[in-house]
Amino acid sequence: MGTSVFDSELLMNAWSTEEMRGVFNDRARMQAWLDVEAALALVQADLGMIPQEAATEIAAKSNYEAIDKDLVLHHLKITKHPLVPTVRALEAACEGDAGEYVHYGVTTQDVMDTGLVLQLRKATEIIRRDLKILAKDLMRLSEEHRNTPMMGRTLSLQALPVTFGFKTAIWLSEIDRHLERLDEMEKRVFVGSIVGAVGTKASFGAKADEMEKAVNDRLGLGTPTISWQAARDGFFELGSTFGGINATLNKIGNQLLLLAHNEFDEIAEPFGKGQVGSSTMPHKRNPAVTENSVTVSNTLKSNINILSDITKHEHERDGAVWKMEWKILPEICLMLSVVLDNLKFVFADIEVKKESMLKNLNLLRGYALAERVMFALSDKMGKQTAHEEVYSAAMHGIESDITFREALLANAEIREAISEADLDALLDPTTYVGSAPDLVDQAVAKTRAGGRI
């Protein structure tokens, strides 16, 4: 068992959901817009487009605390516009005539798009950090349980033995690939937009390109080749990447729920003193946190399903489509953060029940080793003949409700081809995990070498 996740300080530090809410609350949204306005003014002053004194004042007042929020709400009721109230409040906050140079030449979408990119960059860092935390726990489990045998299952039924470390190493590799995708998408997603009303930069004159790059550089963003006001593939890629991460976490959470069933009893999520599983059944130790991760993950899918709609802008701007992003993207980030928080909690101190895994390995009374016996017999009677004989023995044994060993020894051809001692060795499920331990080592080594975790 790892460090108890029920330590209050650790538990407090474990939750990133509140941090994610802080990225997308009203304060953060307005501050992102103000950051864009400040960068714009300072760059325009450097290029001689507006007075330096005005830019300095605009930058100084481009702070949430300096803005009259009541004035913002007043203008919001009147204008019914998402950004103009903030622009007017910034103008009012500036002394002298500096307010005349606020929002100089840009359009609403420039500021809101670039502001949203700034927010999404922060959100991605939270997602990346939490994925790394989860990956480190999976790496630890993979190494600890590289040799812990358990039954592998295909089509819901017992198939062949694997190891628990093999299972978690597959999850680890998948998450590492998602981290690689996050790195690769940055150059396409985290770019600003300072291009004017329809993307042609007509309002900026000859210094438009230089100004756009300088503003984006100041904000730490890339500069696009051409306007992306009507091209939302960047946000689509980000949402799709987060959707892929969610799909992996959904699969992991759902599998944990299956393995936690009393009939399997192979894992258990942390359950602290005083925790209650049921209001009426005192014995219950429900996997509530894992269940919540799957519930939220399933809900997140609805936003992924409509994500492609953000790409179908009509003409140079389409508010009915554009405004969908304001709901979809923050919700995806928030819900993904919840899912990650839940699974971080679970994997920090998950209970791996080796004895139950061993018990389940013998649940089929040896029949799960039919493949192994067949290949051992192939050298003596040929593969196809061995398959037919083992199949015949297995079907007879299952119908007769006897063990696989008894069924095999009841078959004259098989009994003549193999000794009882050799058969007993073949029917030990713990020794038929193939290259699982070595594959775990390879996966962990490759993940470490990638340097993302």
Which residues are paired to 222 by β-bridges?
A: 191
Quote the pLDDT of residue 284: 83
Q: For the chain, what is the mean pLDDT?
A: 94
Q: What is the mean pLDDT of residues 164-179?
A: 98
d(CA 241, CA 223): 21
Q: Regarding predicted confidence, which is higher, 239 or 7? A: 239
Q: What is the mean pLDDT of residues 295-306?
A: 93
8 class by beta-carbon count within 10 Å (0-12 exposed, 13-18 middle, 19+ buried): exposed
pTM of the model: 0.92
In a 13 Å sphere around the CA of 315, the CA atoms on its Cβ side amount to: 6
Q: Residues 138, 172: contact at Cβ < 8 Å?
A: yes
Q: What is the mean pLDDT of residues 255-282?
A: 90
Quote the pLDDT of residue 276: 79
d(CA 151, CA 163): 8
Residues in the chain: 453
Quote the pLDDT of residue 282: 84
Quote the pLDDT of residue 15: 67
- Does residue 85 have a pLDDT over 70? yes
State the CB neighbour count (10 A cutoff) for residue 263: 9
d(CA 25, CA 57): 26
CA 371, 377, 383, 385 torsion: positive or negative?
Answer: negative
DSSP of 101-160 = GTT-S--HHHHHHHHHHHHHHHHHHHHHHHHHHHHHHHHHHHHHTTT-EEEEEETTEEEE
- pLDDT band per the 50, 70, 90 thresholds, residue 177: very high
The label of the residue with tokens 């949402």 reads: 239
Q: Residues 407, 393: contact at Cβ < 8 Å?
A: yes
